[in-house]
Every structure is written in C-alpha cells, then in structure tokens.
Amino acid sequence: MSLQWPYENIDGYLYVDGVSTIDIARRYGTPVYVYSENLIRKQYKLLSSTIAKYYPKTRLLFASKANTNISILNILLEEGSEIDAVSPGEVYLSLATGYKPSQIMFTGTSVGLDELNYLLETGVRINVDSRSQLERTLNLEVPELISIRINPEFGAGHHEHAITAGPNVKFGIWDQDAVEAYNLAARAGVKKFGIQMHIGSGVFDVSNYVKASSRLLEIAKKIHEETGISFDFIDLGGGIGIPYKPEDMQINLDNFMDTLFGFVKSKLSEYNLGMPEIWFEPGRFFVAEAGIILTRITTIKKTPYKNWIGVDAGFNTLIRPALYGSYHEIIAASKLNGRKSKHDIYGPLCESGDVFGHDREIPEVEEGALLAIMNAGAYGYSMSSQYNSRPRAPEVMVKNGKDWLIRERETFEDLLKGQKMS
C-alpha cells in the first residue's frame, strides 16, 4: 500500500502528520483512535472549494453520525460546516460544540413526540421523514422552516444496509404524498421550505446522484406548480465514497460536480425553480481517511488452515467489517518494510465474526507489534460499543508533529455506570 500524507513510512515505522504511531501507542495505550486535524480540514476545503466552482449558493452539513467527537465537530465548525443530525443526542453535542440552532438540520426517522419537543425547543431546522411526523410537529408548534425528505425511488450504496432510498427502504415521503405534505405545512403557516434526499453511502458514480436528483427535481417542480411554494434549499444528501481498498480510486470531484451541477442547473431553469441553495451532507468524506485505529498484536497462532494474528481491537472498536463485510486496509505500523505473507486478523470478542480481514499481506510480525487499521475516522468510534464488557478506546488528535487526547479511555467503572444491583 502506498502511504499518502499525513501517513508516512519513516524507517519502517508509521507516522501520522509527523508523530510516531509507536509513541502514540506507548503514551495512550491500545487500541486507540488517531485522527489528523490537518486532513479533516483539507477534505472540507477540497469539497467546499470544488462545489463553489460549479454553483454560487451551496452549504455543507457534516453528517455527524460519522463522528461526534466535539473536537472534530469544532474543527468542522471552524471550517464553515453546518450539521446534519439524526438524533437529539447529535443535536445536543453540536449545540455544545458551539453550532447555532440555525446551523443544524435534524433528519430523523421514526421520531417520537418527546424528540420533537426537544427539537422545537432548541430551534433547529427539521427535515421530516413522514406525514405523521409533519402533523405531530405542526400540532406542537409551527416552525418557520420545514424541509421534507423525499424518497426519490432510487438508491445506491456500498452495502444493502447503506442504501437509503428506493422501494423497500423505510426513509422519506413518496411523490404521491409530497404535494399534500407541503400544502399542509403551508396552510399551517410555515414560511420557508427545503426539500431533501439521501440515496445512500459509499457512492462513487455521479450517475446515481443524477438519476435520483432527476426524480427529486421532478417532484420539486410538481410541488412548486401545484402549491406555489419556492424552495430555499435543495439538499442532495451525503454518501460520497472514499477509497477503502488499494484498487479504489479517489473520486474525481471536479468531474463529479461538473456533471451533477450541469444537470441540476439545467433542470432548475427548465422547471422554473429559481436558484435555491444546494446542500450536501457528507460524513465519511470529511473524516474517514483522517482516522486510524492502532491495535497491538496479542497473539500469533498458526492452525492447519490459517496464520492468525490476534489484536486488541475488535468489532466493539470498528464494526464495519463484521456488519457490512467492509474492507479496511491493515498495515504493520511498527514494521512497514518486511517481506509480506498472508495472515488473518482477528479481535478479542467471543464471536467468530470478530475478524478484520482474511488473507492480508502482513510482514512476519511478533506479539507486541503494532497494526494500524486505516480509514477508521468515520463510523469507527461512533459505532463502537462495550460489547463483551470492554471499555471503549480513547481518541487522540494529531497535528504538525503534536498529539493530544480528545477522549479518555473508558474504565471498568464506566462499565458499572448507572447500574443498580437489586
């Protein structure tokens, strides 16, 4: 694997933005999540400067489900990001970081009344997922702005679970109910409107966005014509893919945005929809590549079939391989240069599915050596658990040769927190 900044091979050791991973593991223990602040900022700037070339009014909302560490939320706030939140907890963390309510949009599904009350109290924007949610919201209070999540009848993504539009998917309101929903909101006194879709995660091919946007914009046209409503914004969702496998290519963002905005602009003018803001909600694109997990080898074990390497991270630390069969590159952080052979890498959980990868090319390493699981900045910590009663790992930020803790390692006391013995 060829390493790219901020990752470097210095004399066979992995460095992140000038900091030795050996030192990080020694200082904070393992497993540990390590993030590069500079790469998060670079990714944000790359996307925002690229879309600015193709459309004058855009916003980026970080899909905070990918990573809600408040240091990371704060880096993105400083860069100019807003927030896509999917739970009251994500709204709470974003407000605690310093985002204004007007910079947060809540896109929930199966949203309860207590949650709606909290959202209305905080004053964040609400993107509703069902007619029922719309009615219950309007009964509590009429917000100035309502957005509606549309199911554009077509989705895409890296795994069935990561496809969030289409016939068998729970999300969104369908074409036939959309006009009525906007009418309802307008009659109740809502003044400003948005329309949103999110087709799925891990999407590389722009034609998927074009196809879904085509349906979304047809629906927007119908709403505009039948209700007279104009849209302040059209939110095309998140899902931009990043390379996980060595053979995956970075998306050519220029080509991607050129094609997408070429299409969107032509339809906006054909359908007389004016020039609403165009929003995106990327999660992984901003943070996935900026994060790795350092994990120490506890066990080397040969069976008649396999060369196993046991590490101290498991699917409690990174669930993507077990949940979606996702590929994460794994490298020997303390021995990048040796001659490689095939190994299977497994974690400490008592489940056969607790395996990070089969037949991975790793040098002959010893117990105590350090591995790095790459591209773990998105949906790593945020999907972690205490399964098998393992306290969660700490998070460390790295920048320009310096490192510091941004979340402490949990302790055994954390396993007891809130429990009562009856």
Cis peptide preceding 31, ω within 30 of 0: yes
CB of 367 vs ligand LLP, minimal distance in Å: 30
Q: Which is nearer to ligand LLP, 36 or 164 (by Cβ)?
A: 164
CB of 139 vs ligand LLP, minimal distance in Å: 24
CA-CA distance, 93 to 96, in Å (whole number)? 5
**From the centroid of its chain, how far is CA 229?**
31
The residue ranges that bind ligand LLP (CB under 6 A) are: 63, 66, 84, 107, 162, 164, 198, 201-202, 237-240, 281-285, 320, 378-379
Q: Which is nearer to ligand LLP, 105 or 397 (by Cβ)?
A: 105
CB of 335 vs ligand LLP, minimal distance in Å: 29
CB of 338 vs ligand LLP, minimal distance in Å: 31
Q: Which is nearer to ligand LLP, 160 or 414 (by Cβ)?
A: 160
CA-CA distance, 356 to 330, in Å (whole number)? 8
Please tell me which residue in 11, 302, 305, 350 is annotated as part of the active site: 350
Q: Which is nearer to ligand LLP, 28 or 285 (by Cβ)?
A: 285
CB 309 within 8 A of CB 370: no
Residue 271 burial by Cβ neighbours in a 10 Å radius (0-12, 13-18, 19+): middle
Residues in the chain: 422
Residue 383 burial by Cβ neighbours in a 10 Å radius (0-12, 13-18, 19+): middle
Q: Which is nearer to ligand LLP, 281 or 329 (by Cβ)?
A: 281
CA-CA distance, 158 to 146, in Å (whole number)? 30
Q: Dihedral sign, CA of 258, 263, 266, 272?
A: negative
Q: Which is nearer to ligand LLP, 237 or 314 (by Cβ)?
A: 237
Cis peptide preceding 6, ω within 30 of 0: yes
CB of 61 vs ligand LLP, minimal distance in Å: 8
CB 135 within 8 A of CB 112: no
CB of 8 vs ligand LLP, minimal distance in Å: 26
Rg, the chain, Cα only: 23
CB 295 within 8 A of CB 371: yes
Specify whether 350 is catalytic: yes
Residue nearest to ligand LLP (CB): 283
CB proximity list for 261: less than 8 A, separation 6 or greater? 51, 54, 55, 278
| Residues labelled as active-site residues | 350
